[in-house]
Amino acid sequence: MLEVSPDRIAAAARRVMARCDELARVTATPGRIERVYLSPEHARVNRLAAEWMRELGMRTRQDAAGNQIGRLDRIVGDTLDPDAPALIIGSHLDTVLDAGRFDGIVGVLMGLEIARLLRTPVGDGRFGVALPFALEVVAFSDEEGTRFGKALLGSSAVAGLWDEDWWALTDADGTSLRQAFLEFGLDPARIGEAARRPDELIGYLEAHIEQGPELDRRGEPLAVVSSIASARRFQLVVEGEARHAGGTPYDMRRDALLGASEAALAVERICRDEHHIIGTVGQLEAYPGAVNVVPGEARFSLDLRGEFDETRDHVWDELSRELDAIMGRRGLRWSSREVHSAAAVMCAPLLQDVVREGIGAADAPGGTDPAVIFSRAGHDAMSIGAITDVGMLFLRNPDGISHHPGESVSAPDVALGIRALAESVLALAADVRVR
Ligand code: HGY
Ligand code: MN
Ligand code: MN
């Protein structure tokens, strides 16, 4: 058990909340929170996080993909072991456009508070952890995929999943990922150096707001995550014919926007019928985009998620057939490009157990039998699951609103989360010792 006073945990939670506010001020657009991969804002939050890590006596580095890492070595006798395998606690500091201030951020900051609670002086002014492993906090650089349309770039590099084709991805201004790396001061040729080997790691824990209403509805602050949704994202193009808005009778129109709109409604209809699949059209643009021209082209995005890969793929097949039918009726052509695909990831049973134990030890409401939730949102844990066991702790997210400035979490829930996460680390340490 963690021998720490409630006051110290409450102070840790207050610090997390204040730092969420501080990071929210690092934005590309005043009045909104917008912080994308390889931007000046990314560099600024990495510098802040590195400062906070160093204050805790952590060794810090920014890796080859722009992830910010802090490490407390394992203490062996009265020295530090720089090579001991590590437990990583992580999440991300990048945001969607017009974001809330907690998605990802709260998990990184809670990781720092765990390091603060568990760090141990070595005797000569240095700090380590008196655990059977090292403790690392990782602030991932790109989870949302806001800038290049491809999610999980930071954690994919750490998991050794980098795909050379990604260098050609471009942002809205036409800047390629390769160019953005160079402008940020990173060397694309060194991306492989960000990859971690499974034998360097004990596991990965991530705390995150739920981004849904289940805990709020249950009146409970914390949950064990069982698995993370399988996801696929597409960019679709519908081609019709641009013509005069006044002069073209309906029977001659091939309106691409109407085809795309009908497709968006089909996404809702088909996904609603299919339990556990959620589909969202979040972007929709018409071209040439003039008030007096029938849209000749429309582009839209599709985000598909589900608990199981097979159901998700089955829904995509069904949607594709429906799009053929819609576009056929309207004399339109359609095509799609898959920009993201991630298989469902199971949280490791052992790490689900330690998170459950952590929640119980934190004495949270529902603690002895906490909610177990499948995450419909994507998380860095998805890619890290390729190299080590992952576990996640969810925090209540009032009204379930996220990817929105109204996103929230309460300081008392963060305090419970900090205690639960620290207890989870101790439970894992006890298990590793026994093994
Ligand atoms: O979109 C997601 O699920 C995550 O929040 N990036
Ligand atoms: Mn998000
Ligand atoms: Mn997130």
Which amino acid is present at 128? G
- Ligand 1 site, CB within 6 A: 103, 143-144, 151, 377-378
Q: What is the DSSP string of 111-174?
A: HHHHHHHHEEE-SSS-EEESSSSEEEEEEES-SS-TTTS-S-HHHHHHTT---GGGGG-B-TTS
Ligand found nearest the CA of 108: 3
Collapsed DSSP state (helix, strand, coil) of residue 64: coil
pLDDT in tens, 149-207: 899 999 999 999 999 999 999 999 999 999 999 999 999 999 999 999 999 999 999 99
The separation between the first and the last C-alpha atoms of the chain, rounded to the nearest angstrom, is 19
pTM: 0.90
DSSP structure class, residue 32: S
How much distance in Å is there from the Cα of 141 to the middle of ligand 3? 11
**Distances in Å between the alpha carbon of 90 and those of 95, 272, 411?**
15, 33, 19
Angle subtended at Cα 229 by Cα 227 and Cα 232, rounded to the nearest 5 degrees: 155
Give the span between the Cα atoms of 374 and 202, in whole angstroms.
Answer: 23
Counting Cα atoms < 13 Å in the Cβ hemisphere of 396 gives 23
Counting Cα atoms < 13 Å in the Cβ hemisphere of 379 gives 36
Contact criterion met (CB below 8 Å) for 152 and 143: yes
Q: Whose CA is nearest to atom 6 of ligand 1?
A: 144
**Distances in Å between the alpha carbon of 226 and those of 323, 353, 376, 406?**
34, 10, 11, 26
Taking a 5 Å cut-off on Cβ, the residues next to ion ligand 3 are 103-104
Let me know if 257 is exposed, middle or buried by CB neighbors in 10 A (0-12, 13-18, 19+).
buried
Angle subtended at Cα 20 by Cα 357 and Cα 341, rounded to the nearest 5 degrees: 70
For the CA of 144, the nearest atom of ligand 1:
6
| CB proximity list for 254: less than 8 A, separation 6 or greater | 240, 241, 294, 296, 330, 331, 332
Supply the pLDDT for residue 123. Answer: 82
Closest CA to 380 of 153, 70, 46, 69: 153
Supply the pLDDT for residue 275. Answer: 67
How much distance in Å is there from the Cα of 151 to the middle of ligand 2? 10
Pocket test residue of 91, 96, 152, 339 for ligand 1, highest count of atoms within 8 A of CB? 96
> Which tokens hold the place of 134?
């090292």
Q: What is the CA radius of gyration of the chain?
A: 23
pLDDT in tens, 370-419: 999 999 999 999 999 999 999 999 999 999 999 999 999 999 999 999 99
Pocket test residue of 36, 144, 382 for ligand 1, highest count of atoms within 8 A of CB? 144
Pocket test residue of 403, 404, 407 for ligand 1, highest count of atoms within 8 A of CB? 403
The residue with tokens 């021998």 is 3
Give the span between the Cα atoms of 99 and 97, in whole angstroms.
Answer: 5
Walk along the chain (435 residues) in steps of 10 and give the mean pLDDT of each run: 93 98 98 98 98 98 98 95 97 98 98 98 92 98 95 97 97 98 98 98 98 96 96 96 98 98 97 87 98 98 94 96 98 96 94 96 86 95 97 98 98 98 97 78
**Four-residue CA torsion sign, 89, 93, 96, 102:** positive
